[in-house]
Amino acid sequence: MEKVFQLFYVSKLKEGSNLSVIDQILQHSRASNPKKGITGILMFRAGIFLQLLEGEEKEVLELFKKIEKDPRHHHVMQLLATKNPRLFEDWSMSYRELSELDVKMINEILSWNRLINAERDVDNSSILYMLERFKHALR
């Protein structure tokens, strides 16, 4: 299967923002991403964004550069950059409001990764497995 570049990051919504910014971001993403062959998922809970961008490496990095500078959020931190078969082929940008349980799972994955990264290369498989589960919950 053909591999694409996947970039996964976390960021913080600017304090005092109206949650309607999420709709604005999704609207823009869904109009613009198909032109660039970009797909993915945006997740949100309690002021925290997580987003997976996937597509051609050049397009994803170009978009990520813009996203990093977007004043609607800050503390943008890349968590994963890898090459894999595309996960969200049917979604220009899907959306999931994270549950408390989701957050717990993400926390566990990230702290586990931190633990084993001290020893080995980055283990991306648990993040990708989680995203795959989220994909199956999309309508």
Ligand X SMILES: Cc1cc2nc3c(=O)[nH]c(=O)nc-3n(C[C@H](O)[C@H](O)[C@H](O)COP(=O)(O)O)c2cc1C
Q: Residues in the site for ligand X, rule: CB under 6 A? A: 11, 25, 28-29, 32-33, 42, 49, 51, 63, 66-67, 70, 72-73, 93
Comparison of 76 and 123: residue with beta carbon closer to ligand X: 76
Comparison of 33 and 127: residue with beta carbon closer to ligand X: 33
Residue 118: CB minimum distance to ligand X, A: 29
Residue 100: CB minimum distance to ligand X, A: 21
For 118, residues 6+ apart whose C-beta sits below 8 A from its C-beta are none
Q: How far apart, in whole angstroms, are the C-alpha atoms of residue 135 and residue 69? A: 28
Q: Show the tokens assigned to 29.
A: 């993403």
Comparison of 42 and 79: residue with beta carbon closer to ligand X: 42
Q: Which helix (H) or strand (E) holds 71?
A: none
Residue 115: CB minimum distance to ligand X, A: 28
Q: Show the tokens assigned to 46.
A: 């309690």
Residue 127: CB minimum distance to ligand X, A: 17
Comparison of 7 and 128: residue with beta carbon closer to ligand X: 7
Comparison of 6 and 11: residue with beta carbon closer to ligand X: 11
Residue 76: CB minimum distance to ligand X, A: 8
Q: Is the Cα dihedral 49, 54, 121, 104 positive or negative?
A: positive
Nearest residue to 11 via CA among 77, 102, 105: 77
Q: Which helix (H) or strand (E) holds 52?
A: strand 48-55
> Contact at 8 Å (CB) between 55 and 38?
yes
